[in-house]
Amino acid sequence: MAILLVAAALSGVAAPSAGQFSRVPAGVSIAGLPVGGFTSEEARGLLRERLSEPVRFQLGARTWKATAEQLGVDAGVDAAIAEALRGVPGTSVDVDAAPARPDLLRYVRYLDRTLSREPKDAYLAGLDAKLRPLIAAEVLGHRLDVKAAAAAIEASVRSAEREPVQLEFRSVAAKRTERAFGPVIVIRRGSNSLTLFDGTRVVQRFGVATGQSRYPTPLGTFSIATMQYNPWWYPPDSDWAKGLKPVPPGPGNPLGTRWMGLSAWGVGIHGTPDAASIGYSASHGCIRMRIPDAEWLFRHVSVGTPVVIVSA
């Protein structure tokens, strides 16, 4: 007969049985608990007490418990006792004990939320004294093996020995690593230069034009937010562009053949038909490149590429 362990432990009342005063043969154990020589009721009370104990967990130096009530533990104690009474010395009897499935799954989901950790991608932490990218290393994550955790809890519930449950985790890699960080653009506004890095390694340097003193290129850390092939030019909402009309792709387009818009509003890296402006503070805030240079850069970056603009 199956019984709810918590209720039985609280009541302290043992179910009567025909073998109430029979003794379990010597050397018999139930769920790892030695009960040989005990009367049926002594063995029944002891087994109930042990199976009502919390399931214990250990993770490094951290320990905690889940009560039988939390897990909805139910066990067929009477059936195990009856089998033990029929046993011979050395018999090991299993007990039909299990947590309630909804309670078990609820607890395992709680463990997953509490103990699992998402990985952290490597990120651009700034520039060093030589204006090279500083990349903060990625951090591995770990995810609880929920199937293994459920199986380990069920095994502990079936055992009267209550050894601490050892949880298993699998590593979760970051999407972006320090070693394979990818492109970073550093623009020196004062010297009108653009350097493309692959992580911390210099890939290529270009001369550029940056903003006039009246329309300065903003300083800070941004990213490429949009990329357009053969873009249209639309007049911005600014006094210098009043009365101007949109320009379609083609020769003379102020954006050249490529546009890499930054997360700074209205600012982008683009080609220019005015190659004579390269090397000067001549734009209205954007970063101008020679058209072949802009086309080359366009092929080597993507949306999300970090862009750092400094005053040097």
**Which residues are known catalytic residues?**
270, 286
The answer to whether the Cα torsion of 26, 30, 35, 41 is positive or negative is negative
What does DSSP say about strands 210-211 and 281-283: parallel, antiparallel, or unpaired? parallel
Residue 224 to residues 184, 191, 297, 301, 304, Cα–Cα distance (Å): 10, 21, 12, 8, 5
- How far, in Å, CA of 204 to CA of 185, rounded? 10
Contacts 24+ apart (CB under 8 A), 210-216: 210/281, 210/282, 210/283, 210/287, 210/288, 211/281, 211/283, 211/284, 211/285, 211/286, 212/281, 212/282, 212/283, 212/284, 213/281, 215/240, 215/283, 215/284, 215/285, 216/189, 216/285
Q: Is residue 195 a contact partner of residue 185, using CB atoms and an 8 Å limit?
A: yes
